[in-house]
Amino acid sequence: EVQLVESGGGLVLPGRSLRLSCTVSGFTFADHAMHWVRQAPGKGLEWVSGINWNSATTGYADSVKGRFTISRDNAKNSLYLQMNSLTTEDTAFYYCVRNSYTYGSFDYWGQGTLVTVSS
Amino acid sequence: IQLTQSPSFLSASVGDRVTITCRASQVVSNYLAWYQQKPGKGPKLLIYAASTLQSGVPSRFSGSGSGSEFTLTISSLQPEDFATYYCQQLNTYPLTFGGGTKVEIK
């Protein structure tokens, strides 16, 4: 069974940093690109960042470029999101997502971890 | 690329045929997916490549379109289908989602 489990969310002050982790099981992690997608409470979905299988290629939404860094450790079956200079606009549920082989669609999603940026 | 979904909200009854539209500001070929999200859960992939049903998804769901206009159709709405639906383009980075369509019980 494919599982993606996010951790690391919580309450953080504006301007501070937080690191999210996603541990996966049930598939060969190194075979897939991975993404982070976020959703502010009561709002729609926003793609945040993606990384290819060997970390050679990464991409970021304009809203987080220069502040967030995506990375992965294939030996540990883990995906990470380092978030710096957080603002209240970054408050959201953050989902770890697997990129499928077919047309790049997102075929498995974690349950999400909530990041709240507030003073 | 901006994706505009319509309607943003619809009220329907069990057994109704429901159609949701997604329009892209640029051509995305058939690199379009549809997702269903229920409260408190992560989204679930329903359709990819505009019209291909994801494994395990009931056949009452179907997708059509190409280029810049797409539709998701539920042929006979079931109680478990009341949820929010999103389209997503996978043709160009940054990847983008539509604003969502909430389907509620009439």
With beta carbons under 8 A apart, name residues in chain A contacting B44.
Answer: 109
Q: Report the alpha-carbon distance of residue A95 to residue A45 in Å, rounded.
A: 10
Task: Name the token pair of A30.
Answer: 């190194």
Half-sphere CA count of A36, side-chain side, radius 13 A: 33
B89 touches chain A (CB under 8 A): no
Cα dihedral A12, A115, A33, A59 sign: negative
> What digits encode the pLDDT tens for the residues B41-100?
999 999 999 999 999 999 999 999 999 999 999 999 999 999 999 999 999 999 999 999
pLDDT tens for B12-49 read 999 999 999 999 999 999 999 999 999 999 999 999 99
Asked if the C-beta of A109 comes within 8 angstroms of chain B's C-beta atoms, the answer is: yes
Query: How do the pLDDT tens digits run along chain A, 119 residues long?
Result: 999 999 999 999 999 999 999 999 999 999 999 999 999 999 999 999 999 999 999 999 999 999 999 999 999 999 999 999 999 999 999 999 999 987 889 999 999 999 999 99
Spatial distance between the Cα atoms of A106 and A46, rounded to a whole number of angstroms: 13
The interface residues of chain B toward chain A in range 7-26, judged by CB-CB distance below 8 A, are: none
Is any Cβ of chain A less than 8 angstroms from the Cβ of B82?
no
- Whether the Cβ atoms of residue A76 and residue A62 lie closer than 8 Å to each other: no
CA distance B67 to B33: 13
Asked if residue B105 has pLDDT above 90, the reply is: no
Q: Is A105 on the interface with B (CB under 8 A)?
A: yes
* Interface contact B49-A102, CB threshold 8 A: yes
Nearest CA in chain B to A107: B45
Distance CA B19, CA A97 (A): 27
Nearest to A23 by CA among A40, A35, A42, A7: A7
Distance CA(B75)–CA(A85), nearest Å, equals: 47
DSSP letter for each residue of A49-106: EEE-TTSS-EEE-TTTTTTEEEEEEGGGTEEEEEE-S--GGG-EEEEEEEEPSSTT-E
Residues B4 and B100: beta-carbon distance below 8 Å: no
- Which of A22, A103, A113 to probe the B interface (max B CBs under 10 A)? A103
Neighbours of A56 (CB within 10 A): 7
Q: Do B43 and A106 touch (CB under 8 A)?
A: yes
Q: What is the pLDDT of residue B106?
A: 86
